[in-house]
Amino acid sequence: MLLEHLMITMDDQMFREQQMQKGGRHQHHNTREQEQQKQQQQRQRRRPNNAANRGDGGRSYFSTEAILVLACVTVSLLVLPLILPPLPPPPTLLLLLPVCLLVLLVVLAFMPTDMRSMASSYL
């Protein structure tokens, strides 16, 4: 919508410049209306030729390659657990690693800070 408004504004400006070059400030209002109608018809003819009328120029958020990669990852996550044999459990110390990280983050979150020393280090 904004793009269409911008195009109309640009078309109006071009029309005014053409009229000034012709020395035609004194021409009839009908000529300008006819010119605007022609430009509107040209825009309507061009619109179906665009990739999409979504207002984003036909571009999507994800590229075709990204959608293909996401689809392959999804299929592999659904199919591979059915094909592969079950894995043995990890060692006990490896299971404690996420718990230790969580405890460390909680301690750091609630640890009081000395604001005066922090402020002086940035000055």
26-62 tens-digit pLDDT? 545 567 778 878 877 777 776 655 444 555 556 788 8
Q: Does the model's pTM come out above 0.85?
A: no
Judge whether 87 lies within some domain: no
Burial readout 33-68 (b: 16 or more C-beta within 10 A, e: otherwise): eebeeebeeeeeeeeeeeeeeeeeeeeeeeeeeeee
Judge whether 56 lies within some domain: no
3-state secondary structure of 69: helix
pLDDT at 51: 47
CA–CA dist 44, 119 (Å, integer) = 61
Between 41 and 111, residue with greater pLDDT: 111
Across 110-117, average pLDDT: 77
Judge whether 113 lies within some domain: no
CA–CA dist 88, 20 (Å, integer) = 83
CA dihedral 114→115→121→123, nearest 10 degrees, is: -160
> Which structural domain, as residue segments, surrounds residue 41?
2-49
Judged against a pLDDT cut of 90, whether residue 16 lies above it is answered with: no
Judge whether 59 lies within some domain: no
Judge whether 64 lies within some domain: no
pLDDT at 33: 78
Mean pLDDT of the chain: 77
Return the percentage of the chain with pLDDT > 70, whole number: 68
pLDDT at 56: 55
Structurally, the chain folds into a number of domains equal to 1
Judge whether 86 lies within some domain: no
3-state secondary structure of 23: coil
